[in-house]
Structures are given as structure tokens and as C-alpha cells.
Amino acid sequence: MNARTQHFVDIVLVLIQKDLKVRYKNTIFGYLWSVGHPLAFALVFYIAFKVVIKIQVEEYVLFLITGLFPWQWFSNSISASPMVFLGNAPIIKKLNFPRNLIPFALVFQDMIHFIFSLPVVALFLFIYNKNPYITWLWGVPILLFFQFMMTYGFALIISSTNLFFRDLERLTQITLTLLFYFTPVIYPETMIPPGFHDLVQLNPLACFVIVWRNLLMEGYINWFYLSISGLYGFVFVILGYFTYKKLSWRFAEVL
Amino acid sequence: MNNSIILFSNVYKSYPLYHHITGGLKNFIFHLPKGIRQLKSKKYEALHDISFEIRKGETFGIIGRNGAGKSTVLGLIAGVLRPNQGTVKVMGRVSPLLELGAGFHPELSGRENIVLKGVLMGLSRAQVSEKLEEIIDFSELQDFIDQPIRVYSSGMLARLGFSVIVHLDPQILLIDEILAVGDSDFQRKCIARLDEFRNKGVTIVVVSHNMDHICRICDRVLWLENHATEMIGPGSEIVNSFQLRLE
């Protein structure tokens, strides 16, 4: 590792430490939060859809968490990203360093939380008399990489733009809520009426959730949706980087 | 010039008056033509045709009334701002801009802020932890070092800020009005430390309203008046004419 990369690694580590400290006060709590939050949601949806509405989905708890965990990673990163530069204004105004490392650290940290939630998925597999699959070994890293790129790209776009249009934060929250119900997290994509089925591919999150769920529940890699997810990953990371490049030199002026 | 370390040639800097920020995206889209016009036309000129050169090892002061553009010059040297026209050349590792108030992250403890700042400035984590104790000793903040810095007084913040920066081995030191706070004991300590830096050949750029300090430490001074250069030259001479003007 050369000195420059080493320095970037150091910056990201320090920023992650800082974030854990500021957001959760300490590391263990951070982990409990990141696992407990989607589990609480899973409980709510289980009661609402399985117990009350009696949705026809097998192994519904497992089904829910395999969709909720990846969703949670995306949603946490994105809802924090409008404030990520604003919250670090003192650093940005005083010091010249690669500012894109701040959202990078944010998304990276949420990814770590997601990785640590995978044992919980394994636990539920055991409960349903299943085992983790060998395909996880290569499926998980590829998907992590794709989703990281997409989320980081989105985070760059939102965090940079929000400095100039400060109401973007509210728009982000509303859009996230809408996106959640358009994404097959609490229902399977097979329940979407045939006429709308092709629209699923237009929602990047839907593609990711489908691939994650196939992989985590059945150990099956859905190559079709995986390639679309990869495409979204590359497109958004490029878009995000250009947006950031175009706007970043004005950051200190508007903060 | 071989030994110049900071070079400003014909620098212009203006800020758009970001009206749309207050209105937000919604407002901008609903009033699109007006928004774009505002974005292009309304500008606030902060620096007008500034040229100067700071030599290696020099202590350089910048004086002027409030709003004359002093802090913008420091921002340009620190590399957080970019000129609209002209060029700014800086050859060397610049310290973070040191100024009054909370220059750190308010929720983190003093100790954590030291690490954050050191690493962002370009040191490795190992290097920072090596110097950690020395920095804390210099700041004399042992009792408070593990408290979040939002509970610090402004004098304590200044102490912390100064202590971090002087231990980080910068080649260029930027100081914005920091010497005004802290008790006289600590001020003396700071000035002694600055002298040490000068002897080591560190370039120092100071913005201050305290003319005694400027006279005492600066080799040369730039006087900014109305966003443009009024005078530039030896410290005491410029300070004298500036004080005459104020009276």
C-alpha cells in the first residue's frame, strides 16, 4: 500500500470512529441499533401482513429480514447523506482534503453494519432448518461491491446538491418512504401484476433486494438481476463522482 | 522567485449571493428563469486584483477592517477556496485554518478531536498517537481532555487548537485572530512557540486586529482596504499608516 492510499485509509477509519461516536455514543450500541431497527420492523410487518392480512408467503420472517437488511443499509446511508457535509462544516471550511471520503466513510460504515447482520440471517436459516449456502462466498462480496458503489454514488449526489438546495433533505425522506413501498421488501416481486412487472427493473433497489433475497434464502444467484444491479452500481458511482467534482470546490463558500 | 512559498498573482475572488439556498429546490424550480439569472448576476466581490508573494520562513501579517477580505486570503492559501481569476500557488504543507470558536467537532472529546485533525492534516494515525501526550501537556487541558469540546470555553478551544497545530509540524501556519484569546500566560507561550517556528524556518501567515502582536511578530504586512491592496511592506511601517488612517 503506498503512502497516499494508507492516508486515505487512515482518514476513513478516523471518520468512521467519529461517526460511531457521534451517532451512537459507542460502538456496541451502534451494532445493536443497526440490527435491532430492521428486526423491529420485521416484527411489525409480520404482525400486519402475516397475522392480520395472512399474506401467502412461506417463511415470512426470513423473507422479511433478507429484504429489510439490505434496504436498511441503503436507507440509512441515504437519509444521513444530506447532512453529511453540513455536519462536518468546520472541517471542510478549514482544511483541504478529499471531501468525498466523508460520504465514503458513511456508506462504508453502514455496509459494515449490514455485514454484521448476516449472522442474524444465518440464525433464522437455522430456525427454518436450513443452512447458509456456499454460494454466499462469492455472491455476497460481489453484491456488497455493487450496492456499495450505487449507494456511494447516490450519497455523493445528494450530499453535494443539498448544500445548494437545502430542502433536498425533506425530499429525500419522502422519496425513501415511497421507494420502500415500490420495492419488493414486504411482498414478493411475483405478486406484482404482470402489467407492471417490467417496471421493477427501473427501480435499482428492487433489483438489489431480489438478488439479495434469492442469494440469502435459497443460495441462488440471479444473474439477470445481478447484472442489472452491477450496471446501476457503475452508473450511479460515475454520476455521483461527476456531480461531486463539479460542485466540491464551492463547498467552503456555501457552508 | 526561487524562495517564495506562497504566490498570489492578480487574484480575484467573488462569491455568488446564494439566494436560492434560502428558498430551496422547490423555490428554484418554480422560479427557474429568475433563479438562474440571480445565480449568474448577483455577486459579492471579496478580493480585487490581489498580488503578493510570501517568502519561505517569513512571518506575514494581514490587516484591515472587518470584511476587507482577510479571511478569504487565508481560505485561498488553505486551499478550501478557489480564485475566480488569477492564480494562487502554495508550495508546502499547510496547517488547518486556525481561528476563533469551535473549529473542531463539538460532540467529540478533546483527545478525539486531536486525532481527527491530525489525520485530516496528513499525518498517519500512528504519528498522531505518538504526539498525543505532548499535545495534551502543552494545552494544559488534562482535566478536560476527555470531555466533549462543546463544554469548552473559547479560551480552552483556542488552547486546544493552537496546541494541535504547533505539534503537527506544518510548513505553513495559518492563524486567524487566535492570539487574542487565552490568558496572557498562554499568549506568551504561544508567541514563544511562534518564535521557535520562525527560527526553524516555518512560514507563518497571521490575521489579527491586535497591532501590537502584528508589530511584534511580522516581518512584512499586507493591508487590505475595500477588498484591494492598500499597502504592503515592512511590519511597523504599515501598521503605523493603518493606525493613522483609523484615527
The CA-atom distances, in angstroms, between B13 and each of A2, A97, B38, B48, B86 are 36, 21, 18, 7, 9
The reported pLDDT for the residue numbered B102 is 44
Residue B225 has pLDDT above 60, yes or no: yes
Number of other residues whose CB lies within 10 A of the CB of residue A98: 13
Give the one of A95, A97, A167 whose C-beta lies nearest to B24's C-beta: A167
Q: Where are the domains of chain A?
A: 3-254
- pLDDT over 70 percentage in chain B: 87
Choose among B49, B52, B19: nearest CA to B35.
Answer: B19
Give the one of A6, A7, A90 whose C-beta lies nearest to B102's C-beta: A90
d(CA B143, CA B206): 30
Alpha-carbon dihedral of residues A196, A185, A142, A176, nearest 10 degrees?
90
Give the one of B18, B75, B107 whose C-beta lies nearest to A254's C-beta: B18
Amino acid found at B32: L
Residue A47 has pLDDT above 80, yes or no: yes
Q: What is the ipTM of this complex?
A: 0.80
The reported pLDDT for the residue numbered A55 is 87
Tens of pLDDT, residue by residue over A144-157, are 999 999 999 999 99
Which of B13-27, B68-82, B197-211 is predicted least confidently? B13-27
Give the one of B26, B105, B125 whose C-beta lies nearest to A90's C-beta: B105
Give the gap in angstroms from C-alpha B87 to the nearest C-alpha of chain A.
15
Is the Cβ pair B125, A13 closer than 8 Å? yes
Handedness of CA B194, B197, B201, B203 (dihedral sign): negative
d(CA A165, CA A152): 20
Interface residues from chain A to B (CB-CB < 8 Å)? 6-7, 10-11, 13-15, 17-18, 21-22, 88, 90-97, 164-168, 171, 249, 251-254
Tens of pLDDT, residue by residue over B152-209, are 887 788 788 888 877 877 888 888 876 666 677 877 887 888 888 888 888 999 888 8
Question: What counts of helices (H) and strands (E) characterise chain A?
Answer: 10, 0
The reported pLDDT for the residue numbered A159 is 94
The residue with cell 490575521 is B207
Q: In what order do the strands lie in the sheet with B98-99?
A: B98-99, B172-176, B203-207, B59-64, B220-225, B228-234
A92: cell is: 471542510
Is the Cβ pair B124, A13 closer than 8 Å? no
The reported pLDDT for the residue numbered A153 is 97
A188: cell is: 414478493
Is the Cβ pair B120, A249 closer than 8 Å? no
Give the one of B22, B79, B103 whose C-beta lies nearest to A90's C-beta: B103
Is the Cβ pair A96, B20 closer than 8 Å? no
Is the Cβ pair B115, A91 closer than 8 Å? no
Tens of pLDDT, residue by residue over A122-141, are 999 999 988 899 999 999 99
Residue B1 has pLDDT above 60, yes or no: no
Tens of pLDDT, residue by residue over A63-89, are 999 999 999 999 999 999 999 998 888
Mutate to test the interface with B, among A11, A96, A104, A158 (most CBs of B within 10 A): A96
Length of chain B, in residues: 247
Residue B103 has pLDDT above 80, yes or no: no
Mean residue pLDDT of chain B comes to 81
User: How big is the CA angle at A191 (ends A187 and A197), to the nearest 5 degrees?
Assistant: 110
The residue with cell 422519496 is A175
> What backbone torsions phi and psi does residue B233 show, to the nearest 5 degrees?
170, -165
The reported pLDDT for the residue numbered B238 is 86
Q: What would the mean pLDDT of A10-26 be, rounded to a whole number?
A: 79
Mutate to test the interface with A, among B25, B39, B43, B77 (most CBs of A within 10 A): B25
Residue-wise DSSP of B157-200: HHHHHHHHHHTS--SEEEEES-TTSS-HHHHHHHHHHHHHHHHH
B136: cell is: 495534551
| CB contacts, 8 Å: B115 with chain A | 14
